[in-house]
Amino acid sequence: MTDDPQPPQRRPAERLALGEASRLLGVDPDTLRRWADEGRVPAFTTPGGHRRFERKALERLVAARRTGPIGTLASLGASPDRLSAAYRRRYGEPHAMAPDPRSTVPASDRETFRDLGRQLVDALVRHLDEIGPGRALAEREAVDISARFGERLAVHGIPLSDAVSMFVSARRPFLAELSVVARKRGVESARVGDLYDTSTGLLDRLLLAFTAAHETTVRELAAAASAAANPASVTRDQV
């Protein structure tokens, strides 16, 4: 008696929809849509009006991003240590958008903030250098760190408007240092645009996590203060 024949394995689709293609590249669908509109990624439109991407073209792009001549950010000199140093050097520069965070965060907590900042820069660099699961892991770490920043600023009584201004200002050293490295190493403009798109997209998502964590912490602190000021409001079942 012969074994039952195994069903043939399905071959991967040669043409991918926007969502599948963006996951393969490890970028946001909006970013891939913009790249297609700019002609940076080949795409075509079906008679029904849906955008499609050739798998082989995307795989070539992935391979070029992984092993291309410019290598990783770290190999270009944009290591987490260098970016962290640039962050510290530029972050305190005077500007009208927000106060210097070092003047608002208690001295006892500044080392914690510096450590979180180093962790965040490391996650950002790994997000830019990795693809697939590695990039997703780096993003989750960056989101978690940003949320912790939001919580701590709320605990220290820094208003949301000032906190957001600080976060937006903190983006500048990271993006500025990427530009410096790109210019010094002669990175192609298309690759620079790729780095900028990916960086700003992630930073926008981090701002949302930062803001949500700040608002949640403020509400929790207000509820705790209200309960402490009005102990009589506690129900008999809770006594």
The answer as to whether 35 is a domain residue is yes
What is the secondary structure of 94-122 as a DSSP string?
Answer: --SSS--GGGTS-GGGHHHHHHHHHHHHH
User: Do 82 and 37 share a domain, yes or no?
Assistant: no
pLDDT attached to residue 129: 74
pTM above 0.75, yes or no: no
CATH number at residue 39: 1.10.1660.10
The continuous run of DSSP H or E covering 30 comes out as: helix 29-38
User: Do 99 and 57 share a domain, yes or no?
Assistant: no
Query: Residue 160 is part of which domain span?
Result: 73-227
Contact 204, 144 (CB under 8 A): no
Domain count within the chain? 2
Sheet of 44-45, strand order: 15-16, 51-54, 44-45
Q: Tell me the β-bridge partners of 45.
A: 51
The answer as to whether 220 is a domain residue is yes
**What does the pLDDT look like over 95-131, one tens digit per residue?**
445 555 556 677 777 788 878 888 888 888 788 777 6
The answer as to whether 211 is a domain residue is yes
What integer is the mean pLDDT of 145-162?
91
User: Do 141 and 194 share a domain, yes or no?
Assistant: yes
pLDDT attached to residue 84: 65
The answer as to whether 56 is a domain residue is yes
| Strand 15-16 with 51-54, pairing | antiparallel
User: Do 57 and 77 share a domain, yes or no?
Assistant: no
pLDDT attached to residue 217: 96
